[in-house]
Amino acid sequence: MKTGIREMADGIYMITLPMPFRLKHVNIFAFLEEDGFTLIDTGPNLAGVLPALEACLAQIDRRVEDCRRILITHFHMDHCGLAGLIAGRSGASIYLSEIEEQTIRTFAREENRAWHLRRFGLEHGLDSGTLDTVIRAFSAFKTATSPFTAAGILADGDQLNVGGRVVEIIATPGHSRGHISFHLPKERFLIAGDHILPHITPNLSPDLLVPDFRPLDSFLASLARVENLPVATVCPAHGRPFSDLKRRVAGMREHHRDRSKLALEALTEGERTSGDVSRFIFGDYLPPFDRLLALNETYVHLIELERSSSVHRKMREGLCLFERVDSNGAG
């Protein structure tokens, strides 16, 4: 997809912004109002993104300074990175879910994040070199999210009036613990953030500070929450808008069933770390950051297999090992 702006309905625009990653773009949404506009998500605070946003806004006779509200799907840099900068120039109020607001405060200290990431990675079989590279990358992109303070909280079931349009808030945890989506019943739109993407499944990763969070279980429950909405168009954060919500939900469920089967197959020969299982599923030759994402998603499947008594885990010499459980309940 190319950088640009597209009118989705009267006064509702999808703005596609560039990113220097494997996912080369992010979609954000502008709702025109009498005295300005509301944004859903902002894009990252990286070189070239703000000028691209300004150029798109100019096509609808708006400036960054005209922004009145920013609604955030979740606290990832490609979704909220420009929020603080835009709010600083416009005075816009920023809103997101309570859980994501808590995440901002919890991970305010970079060393806190790095310590938890290193401990988790080593425990689950990721090598120190990969972890060093990933932590350096996180540090380099520290400024990709401009600091901001939320003016208010968006809760499941809330209804907003955005330029005369009804916008319903739907909690869709999974990709992040406090992810929300936005349903426009009259327009039959679902602005889905990273919850539902057209060609890939969103990464599911553990919350290292909330070990009871079950990303896969939450994600599947969130799919069930939205699959029967009377939606004509799903507007994702990455990829083109698409129409067949139920078919896409079914495909994502099947993907995760297949992934769980592969995780079990990887344990046929005995106990392995999540890192071992991820290499069985994804291969050995991933870039460092993708290696971490693969490990995270593999671990998320393994903990659900553990809950279903298909596998059990043990600690040995600082490593977390998973082992398949036979039909008699023994490892």
Residue with more model confidence, 285 or 63: 63
State percent of the chain over pLDDT 90. 85
C-alpha dihedral over 329, 126, 114, 44, to 10 degrees?
-100
**DSSP line for 268-288:** TTS-B-HHHHHHHHH-S---H
Residue with more model confidence, 208 or 262: 262
Q: Kindly tell me if the per-residue pLDDT of 106 is higher than 80.
A: no
Strand partners for 180:
171
Residue with more model confidence, 100 or 113: 100
81 pLDDT band (50/70/90 cuts)?
A: very high
Q: Kindly tell me if the per-residue pLDDT of 206 is higher than 80.
A: yes
**Domains of the chain by range and CATH?**
4-107+146-253 (3.60.15.10), 110-140+264-324 (no CATH)
Tokens of 284: 């050995």
Round the average pLDDT of the chain to a whole number and report it: 94
- Whole-model pTM above 0.75? yes
Q: Kindly tell me if the per-residue pLDDT of 171 is higher than 90.
A: yes
**What are the phi and psi torsion angles at 68 (to 5°)?**
-110, -35
Q: Kindly tell me if the per-residue pLDDT of 111 is higher than 80.
A: no
Q: How far is CA 257 from the centre of its chain?
A: 20
How many other C-beta atoms lie within 10 A of the C-beta of residue 315? 9
Q: Kindly tell me if the per-residue pLDDT of 172 is higher than 70.
A: yes
What pLDDT is stored for residue 141 in this prediction? Answer: 73
138 pLDDT band (50/70/90 cuts)?
A: confident
Q: Of the candidates 34, 144, 140, which has an alpha carbon nearest to the alpha carbon of residue 82?
A: 144
How much is the average pLDDT of 47-73?
98
331 pLDDT band (50/70/90 cuts)?
A: low
Q: Kindly tell me if the per-residue pLDDT of 250 is higher than 70.
A: yes
DSSP state of 310: S
Q: Kindly tell me if the per-residue pLDDT of 192 is higher than 80.
A: yes
Classify 235 as helix, strand or coil: strand
**What are the phi and psi torsion angles at 230 (to 5°)?**
-75, 70
How much is the average pLDDT of 235-252?
98
